[in-house]
């Protein structure tokens, strides 16, 4: 059973304590570190490792966008989930374009954070329900760049835009995981992207 090693970053001490307490209680999450600023997180990452970074975007000394960029320079391995109380389409797309594996809005239930951690860890795109709803509305009509996709590929694209990972898409469409992987490879080639995050960004431009 996979256990996620998690680093939590937020300049609000009460939220940092709350998230650490809630997520530590989950048997498959190991909160290996917490940081009260972006700079503290960078210092932590230079000497420690984790699987997932759950970080606020808006912080005074070094914001989440810069933390995402610098963390990639230290190690490209950890998935990065952006967390914000100021939810806009622009910040969501900017975070995903920067390499974030997910985007969650502060104030959600603990289960939303848990789901986000494992969606990111398993290769999905972790999104709060309200973010999923907005992305669905933005991608109801396939963009011109998707005109060469087959019907099966378009169905996969729709589920990717909902934030589902490969296994979840396979279950929804009653395909094998191997078939979904082959369809994703074809979609990436036709859309000229290299992963699902780039695909979501392209669908929303």
Are residues 70 and 93 located together in one domain of the fold? yes
Q: End-to-end CA distance of the chain, in Å?
A: 38
The pLDDT value given to residue 142: 59
- Overall number of domains in the chain: 2
- Statement to judge: residues 143 and 123 lie in one domain: no
The domain boundary residue, chosen from 102, 128, 154: 128
CATH number of the structural domain spanning residue 165: 1.10.10.10
Q: How does pLDDT run along the chain (205 residues), one tens digit per residue?
A: 578 999 999 999 999 999 999 999 999 999 999 999 999 999 999 999 999 999 999 998 899 999 999 999 999 889 999 998 866 677 877 887 788 888 888 888 888 899 889 888 887 777 776 666 556 555 545 566 677 888 899 889 888 877 777 888 899 999 998 999 999 999 988 888 887 777 877 776 6
Q: Which of 107, 128, 149 is the last residue of a domain?
A: 128
DSSP state of 146: G
Buried b (16+ CB within 10 A) or exposed e, 60-92: eebebbbbbebbeeeeeebbbbbbbeebeeebb
What's the pLDDT at 106? 86
> What's the confidence (pLDDT) of residue 132?
60
- The pLDDT of residue 140 is 47
* Whether residue 163 sits in one domain with residue 112: no
What's the whole-model pTM score?
0.71
107 and 144 inside one domain: no
What are the C-alpha distances in Å from 13 to residues 8, 19, 56, 115, 127?
Answer: 11, 10, 12, 23, 24
90 and 146, same domain (yes or no): no
DSSP 72-118: HHH-S-SEEEEEESS--HHHHHHHHHTT-SEEEETT--HHHHHHHHH
Of 109, 128, 147, which residue is a domain's last?
Answer: 128
d(CA 69, CA 158): 28
Q: How far apart are CA 169 and CA 29, in angstroms?
A: 24
Residues in the chain: 205
Segment (H or E) for 52: strand 52-56
Quote the pLDDT of residue 131.
67
**Is there a single domain that holds both residue 12 and residue 110?**
yes
Structural domain contains residue 94: yes
Q: Could you give the maximum distance between any two Cα atoms of the chain, in Å?
A: 49
Residues 88, 153 within the same domain: no
Residue 134 within any structural domain of the chain: no
* Domain ranges, residue 183: 139-203
Residues 10, 19: contact at Cβ < 8 Å? yes
Query: What span, in angstroms and rounded, lies between the C-alpha atoms of 15 and 34?
Result: 11
Same domain (yes/no): 55, 104: yes
The verdict on residue 133 lying in a domain is no
């Amino acid at each position: 059973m996979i256990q996620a090693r998690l680093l939590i970053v937020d300049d609000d001490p009460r939220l940092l304590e709350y998230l650490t307490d809630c997520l530590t209680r989950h048997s498959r999450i190991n909160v290996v570190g917490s940081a009260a600023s972006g700079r503290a997180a960078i210092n932590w990452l230079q000497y420690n490792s984790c699987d997932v970074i759950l970080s606020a975007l808006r912080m005074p000394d070094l914001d989440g966008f810069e933390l995402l960029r610098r963390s990639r320079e230290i190690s490209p391995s950890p998935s990065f989930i952006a967390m914000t109380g100021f939810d806009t389409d622009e910040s969501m797309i900017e975070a995903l374009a920067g390499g974030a594996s997910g985007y969650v809005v502060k104030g959600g239930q603990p289960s939303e954070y848990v789901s986000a951690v494992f969606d990111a860890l398993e290769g999905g795109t972790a999104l709060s329900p309200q973010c999923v709803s907005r992305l669905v509305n933005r991608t109801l009509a396939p963009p011109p760049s998707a005109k060469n996709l087959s019907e099966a590929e378009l169905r996969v694209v729709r589920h990717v835009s909902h934030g589902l990972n490969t296994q979840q898409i396979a279950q929804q469409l009653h395909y094998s995981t191997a078939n979904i992987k082959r369809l994703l490879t074809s979609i990436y080639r036709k859309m000229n992207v290299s992963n699902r995050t780039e695909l979501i960004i392209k669908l929303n431009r």
